[in-house]
């Protein structure tokens, strides 16, 4: 597996472009068709596939058109909590309450209030 941190930014952008081109070709879609589907110019499609700089919005539009949001899964992955951290969090939520005495309520009515 490639150490992504060892790659230059330009190499990473070119790799992303190559993957987009690969996905487009696998789906047998031309650049012109993809540009219409994504709502971006053909220049944008060509530019991203050649590893040139593009906006994140353009990237998202292209990935949506290719139905390849799986490329972004790591960005939307929920942070996992370790079992130990979860247990500590649950322990912190426990609220201890002392048992209290029940108060006797005074009768607030008179026997005269009732008629038999």
Nearest alpha-carbon partner for 63 in 55, 53, 51, 72: 72
d(CA 41, CA 34): 9
pLDDT number for residue 19: 95
In a domain, 107, yes or no: no
CA atoms within 13 A on the CB side of 21: 16
How many domains, in total, are found in the chain?
Answer: 1
- pLDDT band for position 105 (50/70/90)? low
Summarize the confidence of residues 6-26 as an average pLDDT.
95
In a domain, 51, yes or no: yes
Report whether pLDDT(103) > 70: no
The structure tokens 């590893």 sit at 51
Radius of gyration of the chain (CA): 32
Is residue 48 within 8 Å of residue 13, measured between CB atoms?
no
Q: What is the pTM of this model?
A: 0.64
What are the pLDDT digits (tens) for 25-74? 999 999 999 999 999 999 999 999 999 999 999 999 999 999 999 988 87
d(CA 112, CA 110): 5
Q: Tell me which residue range forms the domain holding 26.
A: 4-76
């Amino acid at each position: 597996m490639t150490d992504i941190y060892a790659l230059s930014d330009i190499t990473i952008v070119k790799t992303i472009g190559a993957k987009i081109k690969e996905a487009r070709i696998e789906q047998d879609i031309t650049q012109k068709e993809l540009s219409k589907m994504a709502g971006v110019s053909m220049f944008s499609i060509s530019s991203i596939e050649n590893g040139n700089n593009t906006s994140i919005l353009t990237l998202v539009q292209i990935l949506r058109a290719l139905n390849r949001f799986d490329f972004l899964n790591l960005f939307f992955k929920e942070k996992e909590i370790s079992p130990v951290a979860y247990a500590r969090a649950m322990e912190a939520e426990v609220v201890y309450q002392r048992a209290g005495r029940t108060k006797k309520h005074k009768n607030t009515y008179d026997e005269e209030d009732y008629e038999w």
